[in-house]
Amino acid sequence: MGFDTVAALAAAQASSGQFWNSFVYKSTLPAVAAAGVWADGSIGAGIPIYNAYLGAALEFTPLTGSANRSIYTGPTISDSKYVAMAQIGTSAAGAPLVAMFADFLGFYPLVDTDDTAPQTMDNTQSLTRYSSGEGVQAFCVVQVPQSASATATVTLSYTNSAGVSGRTSTFGLFGASTIGNLCNIANTSNVASALTPFIPLESGDKGIRSIESMSVSTGIGGFINIVLCKPIFTLQLLEQNTVAEKVFFKESGTLPAVQPGAFLQFLTLRGSATTPIPFRASLDFTWS
């Protein structure tokens, strides 16, 4: 349940103990080779622990949060929690930086970006949260390094949130040699400046329920994971050695919801090329 009134929200935190302060500390987020490159915050040492994306090739592997596998949201409850406040910061030269927090729902591992033959995904398992796929996006994260800056065009077939299969997404890959970098480009311009967090969807679609197949026009080496996620909220950090902070009720009039079992992680967009950087975040969760 959510909150009917501001008083209920205040009481949850002030008198009912229905809150949890959670802290993220990553000593090394993945390096990025250029400005505008997104990176997967789940890959990196620290708390939450390194996410190795273990799974069988091309099989959809659901992700469920437990303990320190993802951002710990406090005692388990059967209903959603809400993010009351979030804060991010880095002491390294990684700013400006955008951090997009998302519920990583699952992934297709070991998709070969050096193989031009169509690769058919195994959807024996399906989404366990946001099961219709509405609002669910996909990104491609490097699992085995590719040829840096090599480009290819991807044709991906997916089922949208209305359950219509055979939908097509055509986008570019921009090869990255660093594990944890995102390599999808929203269009087929094949330039680094067009890197985006998520692959484009076919006109009118609201999300992805599953992916059926993928093929690349040219082999660029390496392997990727295709991750399905539900974006939750975004913060922008403008300067090194400052914090970006958001009190959601006050500043946006809403509280981002986090479903039970969420595998809460984050993506970052760096404003400049950086070596691996430390990153910290603080999230206050509340529930009714």
Partner 1 sequence: MGFSSMDDLVNEITNNGKFIRNDWNKITGAAAYTAGRWFEMSSLAGTPVANAFSGTALAWQSTDEASGFGLYHGGDVSPDTKHVLNVSAVTAVATGVPAQLMLVDLQGYWPGISNNTTLAQTLTGTPTLRYTNGAGCRLFWAQRTTAGATAQNIAVSYSNTVPTSGRTLPVTVAMTASAIVPHISHSGTAANNYGPFLPLASGDTGVSTVASVTFSAANTGTGALCLARPLLTLPITTAAVAAERDLLNQLPSLPEVKDGACLVWLYFAGAATAANTNFYGAVEFGWG
Where does this chain bind partner 1 (CB under 8 A)?
Answer: 10, 13-19, 21, 23, 25, 27, 45-47, 49, 66-68, 72, 74-77, 84-85, 87, 89-91, 241-243, 245, 247, 249-250, 278, 280, 282
Measured from the CB atom, the residue of 46 and 62 that comes closer to partner 1 is 46
The CB-of-75 to partner 1 minimum distance in angstroms stands at 4
Least Cβ distance, residue 33 to partner 1 (angstroms): 25
- Check if the beta carbon of residue 22 is closer than 8 Å to that of residue 285: yes
SS3 90: coil
Nearest approach in angstroms of CB 154 to partner 1 is 34
Min separation Cβ 115 and partner 1, Å:
34
CB of 284 to partner 1, least distance (A): 8
Residue 66 vs 168, nearer CB to partner 1: 66
Nearest CA-CA partner of 47 in 25, 30, 75: 25
- Asked if 51 and 29 count as a contact pair (C-beta separation under 8 A), the reply is no
88 or 111, CB closer to partner 1?
Answer: 88
Nearer to partner 1, 161 or 259 (CB): 259
Least separation in angstroms between residue 200's CB and partner 1 is 36
Cα–Cα distances in angstroms (integers) from residue 208 to residues 95, 119, 158, 198, in the given order: 31, 18, 7, 11
Is residue 196 within 8 Å of 152, Cβ to Cβ?
no
Q: What is the DSSP letter of 35?
A: T
Q: For residues 72 and 223, which CB has a smaller minimum distance to partner 1 in the complex?
A: 72
Residue 70 has φ and ψ, to the nearest 5°, of -140, -175
Q: Where are the beta strands (DSSP E) in 44-166?
A: 46-47, 61-62, 81-89, 97-112, 119-120, 137-144, 151-160
Residue whose CB is less far from partner 1, 221 or 271: 271
Q: Whose Cβ is closer to partner 1: residue 49's or residue 191's?
A: 49
Least Å distance, CB 85 to partner 1, is 7
What gap in Å lies between CA 91 and CA 277, rounded to an integer?
8
Burial of residue 123 (number of CB atoms within 10 Å: 0-12, 13-18, 19+) = middle
Task: Please answer whether residues 285 and 82 qualify as being in contact, where contact means their C-beta atoms are separated by less than 8 angstroms.
Answer: yes
